[in-house]
Amino acid sequence: MNTPFSPMGQPVDRVDGRLKVTGHARYAGEYPEDGLLHGSVVSSSIASGRVLTIDTREALKVPGVVAVIDHTNRPPVASYDEKYEDADSAEGSPFRPFYNDKVLYSGQPLALVVAETLELARHAGSLVRIEYEQKLHETDLSTALDQAHDAPAELPEPRGNFEAELAGSALSVDVTYSTPSEYHNPMEPHASTVLYQADGSLNIHDKTQGPQNCQDYLHKVFGLDKDKIRVQAAFVGGAFGSGLRPQYQLPLAVMAALQLKRSVRVTLTRQQMFTFGYRPRTVQRLQLGAAANGRLLAVGHEAIGQTSRFEDFTEHVVEWSGMLYHCDNVKLTYKLVPLDVYTPLDMRAPGAALGMIGLECAMDELACAVAIDPVRLRVINFAERNGNEDKPYSSKELLECYRQGAERFGWEQRNPEPRSMREGRQLVGWGMAGGVWEAMQNKASAKARIDAQGKLVVSSATTDIGTGTYTVMTQIAAESCGVELDNVTFLLGDSSLPTAPLQGGSFTVSSVGTAVQQACQALQRQLLEVAKELHPAYASATPDQVRFEAGQLHLGNQAVSMAELAAAQADGAIEVQVDAEPDKKRDAYATATHSAVFVEVLVDEDLGTIRVNRVVNAVAAGRVVNPKMARSQILGGVVWGMGMALQEEALLDHDLGRPMNHSLAEYHIPVNADIGDIDVLFVEEHDEIVNALGSKGVGEIGIVGVAAAIANAVYHATGKRVREFPITLDKLL
């Protein structure tokens, strides 16, 4: 009996792995060009005010310096007199580099020194002298909470009677949690290499999660025809959301290239990676009311986040509290405080990574108040439907996540009493939390082409930010077309390819993967039509009767190769392109990934140091296309969650209005020595509604719930509830 041909679901190695480990994968700041100029950004040292003078005389005396560009001598910019947006823009007016003399935040780019080498440009940048008229600034959320206004977010309407049910609850908790600002800091800093062509067109290599978004942005900002702009991002060294919007090095590099009619590269320093978007600081109040048996009667979640003075950045912080558990009386509030800072930006599991800290820590406090096991409390309040939308879930194996995760962790051996478990001088804490992330799908297009050698090339303008997109799309294409993996190439990261959404939100496999699948299926139909013309045996064959496998069309004992069919065409190839969009049957359902995170921490009783000793993360994400890639995504999310819980925070000097720890030496993130055992468990989940692949994506869900589970474990170990993140030893001692 033949085993079905199925590359999907296999732990295939990265198809781009060899290029990466041998250094042949080129990133945005690595493309060579004769005569390439280098730009270095000069940043504002004040947080609010205006520029009086920019003295560039000493910088221009440096041999090899070609130009210094600022708001006084920049080339005309088409859109600077009108509002424009990009695909990930917030409500308001987007930041315009070199727009005028106003300083909106500390670190704002004020000048660009262009020179023959990067070292010369940076040295000359240090010689630029800027005189300011300084204004009072406000960068501290905690002192400006009274200035909060409603966020322009589409929040679910309050349901039931929250206040009355809370007041009448047998038990309730009313607690406030705070989280700090965090910065993306991917390994590859942001860079743009703008290669100026003889005809005035631009070939750009940019660090981005959406080359077509950057192309559209430059088209709007500079008034250039789209066919004059090609944006490529073949390899991206991590992004986590920092590449969703075009960052300021891109327009500055284009500005310089257009003015000088030369190729220009602008690379940001690690310190300048702290001068644009970030995860916003929040203050969250949770009010939960429950019956004596633990059943939720009232859920209130109010979040206040920071934003810039020029845009209202919104994300889904509180919505999860209205959908993860069943409750008939819910009130969700989300407000923003404008400060003299740059606009925040989506950052891995935006909103959920923050909002679930508040919800899942409050649920742990409720479990203690009603003396019910934290897992049991969540099972009691399991929601069959999404209460915000009043829709059933397309699939939801969260109960299995609880069960299998608890079993793998050994949760039944937990003594619920805080400070009751120890190993020598180490207090042992066991904590858990749930996780949820919306399973989205966007429109996407893909092209599939098979040639006379039987080589299948599939393409779409998505990116691979290290998540394994090259590999999983290759697997989807191989299975959907019936071609061996070695004969498949997936092209991405190029604005000239078929349309794709930004890579983010865990919707790339659902969106682009569906387009790839449909393109390959359309190619199969085209191959069958050609076979009918060339081979009488196939003349009356229907698609159901033909088997596509290993590059051949099988019909009974007959077989014809796809290569032969392609060779018979005038141009020696068969090509199709499709536009895919979400199936209408999704509309009646809520779609989401879910998880259950179990954590063991060891807390030194004398020193207050915390070590995350082991983690079990049980995830239900539909069909997993590549378990090796998916596991890596969850591992990365768990490690980041450890950082959120225990280390990561931007420490602002509010007198200066900027981060003091703007380096990877002082901005603390987990390193290998901090990591204990991480066990990733994928719970089987079948979903024929979410998309034809049955896949929900795993990029975001790995981080959700981790920080809360660690905080709950720290409480269990020490008996001390820390509500200000990160949980550092000074807060425990």
CB atoms within 10 A of CB 477: 28
CB atoms within 10 A of CB 187: 11
Three-class secondary structure of residue 678 per DSSP: strand
State how far the Cα of 733 lies from the Cα of 725, in Å rounded to an integer: 15
The DSSP annotation for 13-26 comes to PPTTHHHHHTT-SP
State how far the Cα of 434 lies from the Cα of 398, in Å rounded to an integer: 8
707 touches 640 (CB < 8 A): no
Q: 131 is written with which tokens?
A: 């005189």
- Kindly list the distances between the CA atom of residue 554 and the CA atoms of 216, 369, 470, 535, in Å, as whole numbers in the listed order: 44, 65, 28, 12
Angle, CA 470 vertex, CA 468 and CA 474 arms, to 5°: 115
Amino acid, res. 167: A
37 touches 256 (CB < 8 A): yes
Give the pairing of strands 311-312 and 91-92.
antiparallel
Provide the 8-state DSSP code for 563: H
Q: 504 is written with which tokens?
A: 């983010």
State how far the Cα of 284 lies from the Cα of 141, in Å rounded to an integer: 12
The answer to whether 484 is a known catalytic residue is no
261 Cβ contact list (under 8 Å, min separation 6): 196, 200
Give the pairing of strands 37-43 and 264-267.
parallel
448 Cβ contact list (under 8 Å, min separation 6): 456, 457, 458, 477, 481, 516, 519, 520, 522, 523, 575, 576, 577
Q: Annotated catalytic residue: which of 165, 302, 700, 724?
A: 700
Q: 359 is written with which tokens?
A: 């919800």
State how far the Cα of 52 lies from the Cα of 135, in Å rounded to an integer: 13
Could you give the angle at which helices 352-370 and 627-646 cross, rounded to 10 degrees? Answer: 70
State how far the Cα of 334 lies from the Cα of 624, in Å rounded to an integer: 34
State how far the Cα of 206 lies from the Cα of 208, in Å rounded to an integer: 6
Q: Give the closest residue to 358 by CA, choosing from 311, 319, 413.
A: 319
State how far the Cα of 460 lies from the Cα of 578, in Å rounded to an integer: 10
The residues carrying an active-site annotation are 700
